[in-house]
């Protein structure tokens, strides 16, 4: 009895057909097929359910991106041609996230061109907009907010960044606004506000100590740059926080459906369980678990041990080498399937009410629209 | 080069660096491979340190132990009396330790943390965070006690291929921010170690398209940045099939009958489908393997562990890592 049968079956078509669902967020550990799943769902929503869909991908595999017509990172949704939407009337648009450009756009929106130019030239901005841990996550949220605000699509499917931890995606807005709004920043801002007299004029003893250390360790140039960066961003605090909060509320709304994506591997399942817990704590709508790359023997009645014993018997008999190969491969497959069920059961035991669907492993990787269509069908009709 | 800095090659294992940086795409099993390498290099009375830097507690989860603190701890016994220790480096702790070492902060350091200063300092400049993390790794790698090095080898469970170039390229990242001062000096020291023959970057992959593509890309990036690539480690491989050819349904049916197994139409068709998928899969794997061979780097293949990575599995991987040479 496959363990995933213990969980309610996830009906993806029901979600895709529900016009009340405007946003689908795919999340999970790196390397579990999030991007492919997001693209497959978006394609199916357009082709089968006639929805005007946009898929926001983050760092897709080159060939998958090409199959969606994404040849450049231009940060704007492009319509995907050559898909089968004649009968459904749907549309599929796709885009790749350009983290830095999204950040630049946010800055431009919140300040005048002169100040923006000053911010762009600051080395701290350059470091932060391209490398800040969480910037990609935050910018994915920002882009989602923008796409949602444009109101041009009736379904937005979002792939999430391969974070070091799934939590980064949810924490990024809070972290960034904590950072931009923090005590430290206000302390550093003091000189900008008091006419630049002293960097640390109104601070505690320990902070005075810190400032000395900071000056020694980092050097005066760095502090000047930092202070300039912070002063320039100061005017944007309110805007940043407001947008982060807005996006957060959209994620909590009923129009959003979170789908966890995992493979039946311990790390991926652990990450999915962790994320499920977080979504529950944050009161965000979790619709289900898509378990990718599940191995299922075509002949489940023949178990690993029987198959192994039979292969040995045939080896002794001789003359059946090809069948021996098949039986050995079947034994390995059956054994892997049993192990995968045990691993997947860890999620089901922790979250018995979360609907799940298993997607059988494809013999070859997916990098064209036909492949995405096959995956979409497999997710919907396992 | 002093005696303490000379590269070594424990028992001719073919792993000649002192600091082994293990990267790979997410899901390729780089933590397991790093742990197995630490075990392998500790065999025979040596001592190694297994380090993680991303706050994932992957080592603790792999070994089924409590979360690791920022402290070098006994992790496992290696064969023939060796020892693997483990350390989870935390950037904030490393910064405090670093400040304390140079400026004797004491209680003021804790006050700084309360103020959020440490969080701030490591957040504002991600390059700084990486200098602190790699700086700690460098310290452990070069540490000596008396005439002996503290560790025969240090194995770093590094960030994944997508981030590894930036992570290791600490000087470039910090140079933009800190033009002078101890941070700059520190990052230059780290960069020198990372680019010396004492360090090797190993890339873990599976015989799947995306991981192989990322492996090829990462190796190109790392090479351009001046890092020495050690080995390409192919994880989860299966033994070749002896017959190694497609089977016909009739042949299969005869074989099943001879083995005394059910040979009804469904069984034959099902197994025939499995065999066909297997052939497609194997062909793809062979072509991906050829792509990896083309890199011209030493390659190690590790077996797929049918029961997952438990302690016995780690020992098997450790053996395969050194036997390969």
Q: What is the mean pLDDT of chain A?
A: 82
- pLDDT above 70 as % of chain A: 76
Q: What is the pLDDT of residues A222-234, one digit of tens each?
A: 666 766 776 666 6
**Distance, CA of A129 to CA of A145 (rounded, Å):** 18
Q: Which of B294, B247, B127, B232 is nearest to A320 (CA)?
A: B247
Contact A191, A197 (CB under 8 A): yes
How many whole angstroms separate alpha carbon A42 and alpha carbon A39? Answer: 5
Instruction: State the Cα–Cα distance between residues B267 and B246, nearest whole angstrom.
Output: 17
- A52–chain B Cβ distance below 8 A for any pair: no
A206 touches chain B (CB under 8 A): yes
State the smallest CA–CA distance between residue B80 and chain A in angstroms.
30
Nearest CA in chain B to A130: B126
Query: Å from A110 to nearest chain B CA?
Result: 21
pLDDT band at A192 (very low <50, low <70, confident <90, very high): very low
A56: pLDDT confidence band, cut at 50, 70 and 90?
very high
Q: State the pLDDT confidence band at A125, using cuts at 50, 70 and 90.
A: confident
| A296 touching B (Cβ < 8 Å) | no
Residues of chain A positioned with their CB less than 8 A from the CB of B97: none
Decide if A310 touches B, using CB distance below 8 A.
yes
B101 touching A (Cβ < 8 Å): no
Give A-chain residues touching B159 at CB under 8 angstroms: 164
A338 vs chain B: nearest CA distance in angstroms?
A: 9
CA-based nearest residue to A234, from A186, A183, A196, A284: A186
Q: Which of B230, B238, B229 is nearest to B207 (CA)?
A: B238
Which range is least confidently modeled, A38-42, A55-59, A174-178, B269-273? A174-178
User: CATH code for A3-180+247-298+346-380?
Assistant: 3.40.50.300
Shortest Cα distance, chain B CAs vs residue A154, angstroms = 31
- CB distance from A334 to chain B under 8 Å? no
CA distance A364 to chain B (A): 6
Q: Do A29 and B275 touch (CB under 8 A)?
A: no
Q: How many CB pairs under 8 A join A and B?
A: 223
Q: Which chain B residue lies closest to A175 (C-alpha atoms)? A: B123
| CA contacts within 13 A on the Cβ side of A121 | 7
Give pLDDT, residue B72. Answer: 95
- The reply to whether A183 touches chain B by the CB within 8 Å rule is yes
From the CA of B144, how many Å to the nearest CA of chain A? 26
Instruction: State residue A364's pLDDT score.
Output: 77
The predicted pLDDT at position B2 comes to 42
**pLDDT at site A58:** 82
Closest residue, chain B, to A304 (C-alpha)? B306
Q: What is the pTM of this model?
A: 0.84
pLDDT of residue A4: 44
Do B9 and B16 touch, CB atoms closer than 8 A? yes
Q: Which of A165, A222, A325 sits opposite B178 (nearest CB)?
A: A222
Cβ distance A184 to B116 less than 8 Å, yes or no, reads yes
pLDDT digits (tens, 9 = 90+) for A84-114: 999 999 999 999 888 888 888 888 887 889 8
Distance CA B298, CA A113 (A): 53
pLDDT at A198: 41
The answer to whether B26 contacts A330, with C-beta atoms less than 8 Å apart, is: no
Least CA distance to A212: which residue of chain B? B103
Q: Which single residue is written with the structure tokens 């800040």?
A: A132
Distance, in Å, from the CA atom of A3 to the CA atom of A291, rounded to the nearest integer, reads 12
**Minimal Cα distance from A225: which residue of B?**
B177
User: Which of B318, B303, B311 has the alpha carbon at shortest distance from B15?
Assistant: B318
Q: Which two tokens stand for residue A116?
A: 């923006």
Residue A87 contacts B where some CB pair is shorter than 8 Å: no
Would you call B117 and A59 a contact, using CB atoms and an 8 Å cutoff?
no
HSE, CB side, 13 Å, CA atoms: give it for residue A97: 31
Dihedrals phi, psi of B233, to nearest 5 degrees: -110, 115
Q: What ipTM was reported for this prediction?
A: 0.80
Cα dihedral angle (A55, A56, A61, A65), rounded to 10 degrees?
60
Q: Is A162 touching B (CB cutoff 8 A)?
A: yes
Which own/partner contact pairs does A78-87 have at CB distance under 8 Å and 24+ positions apart? A80/A43, A80/A369, A82/A369, A83/A43, A83/A46, A83/A47, A83/A369, A84/A47, A85/A46, A85/A47, A85/A50
A64-68: average pLDDT: 82
Query: What pLDDT does residue A111 have?
Result: 82
Write down the pLDDT at residue A59.
75
Task: Tell me what pLDDT residue B6 has.
Answer: 41
Q: Domains of chain B (ranges plus CATH)?
A: 3-240+296-323 (3.40.50.300)
* Number of alpha carbons in the 13 Å side-chain half-sphere of residue A144: 31
> In this predicted model, what pLDDT tens digit does every residue of A72-88 receive, in sequence order?
767 889 999 989 999 99
What are the strands, taking DSSP E only, across A170-320?
256-262, 286-294
Question: Which of residues A282 and B269 earns the better pLDDT score?
Answer: B269
Q: Is any Cβ of chain A less than 8 angstroms from the Cβ of B291?
A: no
Which of A320, A328, A333 to mutate to test binding with chain B, by most B CBs within 10 Å of its CB?
A320
Question: Is A38's Cβ below 8 Å from some Cβ in B?
Answer: no
The low-confidence residues of chain B, meaning pLDDT below 70, are 1-13, 102-127, 173, 175-180, 242-244, 324-325
Task: Tally DSSP H helices, then E strands, for chain A.
Answer: 16, 8
The reported pLDDT for the residue numbered B120 is 61
Backbone φ and ψ of A157, nearest 5°: -105, 125
Q: What three-state secondary structure class fits A306? A: helix
B220 vs chain A: nearest CA distance in angstroms?
16
Neighboring chain B residues of A231 at a CB cutoff of 8 Å: none
Runs of H (alpha helix) within chain B: 30-42, 58-63, 91-103, 107-115, 117-124, 126-142, 161-168, 170-175, 182-194, 209-224, 249-258, 265-293, 311-323
Q: Which residue ranges make up each domain of chain A? A: 3-180+247-298+346-380
Of all residues in chain A, the one with the smallest CA distance to B103 is A213
Contact B116, B78 (CB under 8 A): no
For residue A132, the distance in angstroms to the closest alpha carbon of chain B comes to: 6
Residue B62 has which token pair?
């792999």
Mutation site for B-interface testing, chosen from A27, A30, A31 by largest number of B Cβ within 10 Å? A31
The residue among A100, A137, A267, A316 with the most chain B CBs within 10 A of its CB, best to mutate, is A267
Widest CA span in chain A: 93
Return the pLDDT at A193. 42
More confident site: A147 or A210: A147
Residues from chain B contacting residue A182 (CB–CB below 8 Å)? 116, 120
**Dist CA B52 CA B74 (whole Å):** 14
Residue B47 at interface with chain A, using a CB cutoff of 8 Å: no
Contact between chains at B108 and A225 (C-beta distance less than 8 A): no
Residue B280 CA: distances (Å) to CA of A64, A364, A365, B33, B274: 20, 7, 11, 27, 10
Which chain A residues contact residue B117 at CB under 8 A? Answer: 184, 207, 210
């Amino acid at each position: 009895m496959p363990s995933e049968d213990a969980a309610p079956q996830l009906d993806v078509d029901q979600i895709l057909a529900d016009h009340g669902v405007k946003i689908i967020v795919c999340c999970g550990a790196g390397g579990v097929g999030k991007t492919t799943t997001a693209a497959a769902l978006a394609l199916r929503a357009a082709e089968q359910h006639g929805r005007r869909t946009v898929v926001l991908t983050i760092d897709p595999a080159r060939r998958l991106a090409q199959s969606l017509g994404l040849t450049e990172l231009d940060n704007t949704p492009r319509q995907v041609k050559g898909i089968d939407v004649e009968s459904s009337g749907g549309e599929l648009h796709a885009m790749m996230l350009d983290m830095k450009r999204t950040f630049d756009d946010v800055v431009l929106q919140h300040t005048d061109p002169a100040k923006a130019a000053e911010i762009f030239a600051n080395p701290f901005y350059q470091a932060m907009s391209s490398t800040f841990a969480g910037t990609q996550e935050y910018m994915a949220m920002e882009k989602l907010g923008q796409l949602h605000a444009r109101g041009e699509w009736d379904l937005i499917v979002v792939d999430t960044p391969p974070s070091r931890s799934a939590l980064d995606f949810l924490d990024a807005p809070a972290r960034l606004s904590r950072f931009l709004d923090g005590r430290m920043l206000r302390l550093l801002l003091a000189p900008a506000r008091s006419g630049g007299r002293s960097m640390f004029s109104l601070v505690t003893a320990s902070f005075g100590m810190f400032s000395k250390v900071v000056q020694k360790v980092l050097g005066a140039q760095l502090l000047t740059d930092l202070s300039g960066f912070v002063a320039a961003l100061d005017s944007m605090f309110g805007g940043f926080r407001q947008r982060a909060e807005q996006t957060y509320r959209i994620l909590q709304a009923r129009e959003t459906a979170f789908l966890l994506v995992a493979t039946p591997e311990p790390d991926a399942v652990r990450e999915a369980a962790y994320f499920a817990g977080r979504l529950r704590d944050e009161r965000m709508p979790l619709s289900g678990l898509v378990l990718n790359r599940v191995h299922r023997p075509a002949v489940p009645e023949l178990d690993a041990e029987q198959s192994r014993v039979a292969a040995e018997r045939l080896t002794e008999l001789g003359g059946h080498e090809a069948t021996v190969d098949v039986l050995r491969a079947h034994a390995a497959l059956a054994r892997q399937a049993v192990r995968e069920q045990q691993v997947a059961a860890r999620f089901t035991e922790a979250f018995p009410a979360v609907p799940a669907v298993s997607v059988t492993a494809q013999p070859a990787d997916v990098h064209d629209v036909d492949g995405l269509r096959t995956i979409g069908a497999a997710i919907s009709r396992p | 080069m002093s005696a303490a800095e000379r590269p070594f090659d424990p028992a001719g294992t073919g792993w000649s660096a002192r600091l082994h940086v293990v990267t790979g795409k997410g899901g390729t099993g780089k933590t397991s491979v790093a742990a197995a390498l630490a075990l392998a290099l500790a065999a025979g009375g040596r001592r190694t340190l297994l380090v993680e830097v991303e706050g994932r507690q992957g080592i603790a989860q792999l070994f089924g132990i409590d979360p690791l603190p920022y402290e070098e701890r006994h992790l496992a016994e290696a064969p023939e009396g060796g020892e693997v220790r483990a350390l989870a480096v935390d950037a904030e702790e490393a910064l405090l330790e670093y400040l304390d070492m140079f400026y004797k902060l004491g209680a003021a350091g804790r006050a700084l943390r309360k103020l959020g200063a440490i969080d701030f300092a490591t957040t504002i400049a991600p390059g700084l965070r990486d200098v602190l993390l790699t700086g700690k790794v460098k310290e452990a790698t070069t540490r000596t006690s008396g005439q002996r090095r503290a560790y025969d080898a240090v194995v770093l469970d590094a960030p994944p291929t997508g981030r590894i170039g930036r992570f290791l390229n600490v000087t470039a990242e910090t140079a933009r921010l800190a033009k002078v001062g101890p941070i700059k000096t520190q990052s230059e020291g780290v960069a020198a170690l990372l680019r010396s023959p004492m360090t090797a970057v190993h890339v873990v992959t599976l015989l799947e398209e995306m991981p192989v593509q990322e492996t090829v890309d990462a190796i190109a990036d790392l090479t351009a940045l001046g890092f020495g690539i050690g080995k390409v480690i192919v994880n989860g491989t299966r033994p070749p099939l002896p017959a190694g050819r497609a089977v016909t349904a009739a042949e299969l049916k005869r074989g099943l009958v001879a083995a005394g197994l059910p040979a009804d139409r469904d069984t034959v068709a099902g197994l025939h489908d499995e065999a066909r998928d297997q052939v497609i899969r194997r062909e793809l794997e062979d072509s991906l393997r050829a792509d990896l061979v083309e890199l011209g780097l030493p390659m190690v293949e590790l077996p797929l562990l049918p029961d997952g990575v438990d302690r016995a599995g780690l020992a098997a991987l450790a053996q395969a890592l050194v036997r390969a040479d």
